[in-house]
Amino acid sequence: MKATTRQKFTTEFREPAVKLITEQGLKISEAARRLDISDKSLSRWVIAAKKGQLDKVDSKRLVPVSALEAEVSKLRKENAVLREEREILKKATAFFAKESR
């Protein structure tokens, strides 16, 4: 299976792509097909351009992450790791308890 890499587009590429929709009146699907990019990416760029944030768009978020959101995300990831570690320890404890009998 071939690994795919995420494409990164510059603002210089995004601006004319958005103009195809806003100024030339193309549909997002048609413009995306012509440019060989995803419909979702292009629609996200159009929304960002209307908000004046086209240069700030990244692949996952249009809005900057607040400190609290970043902290919650970090804690959720840490919590998931700790739960996994706890499950491994439970299984190891059960295994060694069996062997000691």
Q: How far apart are CA 17 and CA 13, in angstroms?
A: 7
Q: Enumerate residues 6+ apart whose C-beta is below 8 A from 8.
A: 59
User: Has this prediction a pTM greater than 0.75?
Assistant: no
The sign one gets for the Cα dihedral 41, 47, 50, 54 is negative
- Domains of the chain: which residue ranges? 8-63, 65-101
**Whose structure tokens read 């840490």?**
78
Cβ–Cβ < 8 Å for 47, 14: no
Q: Letter for the amino acid at 38?
A: S
Residues 31-51 have pLDDT tens digits of: 888 888 889 989 989 998 888
Rounded average pLDDT over 66-91: 90
Residues 19-33 have pLDDT tens digits of: 989 998 889 999 888
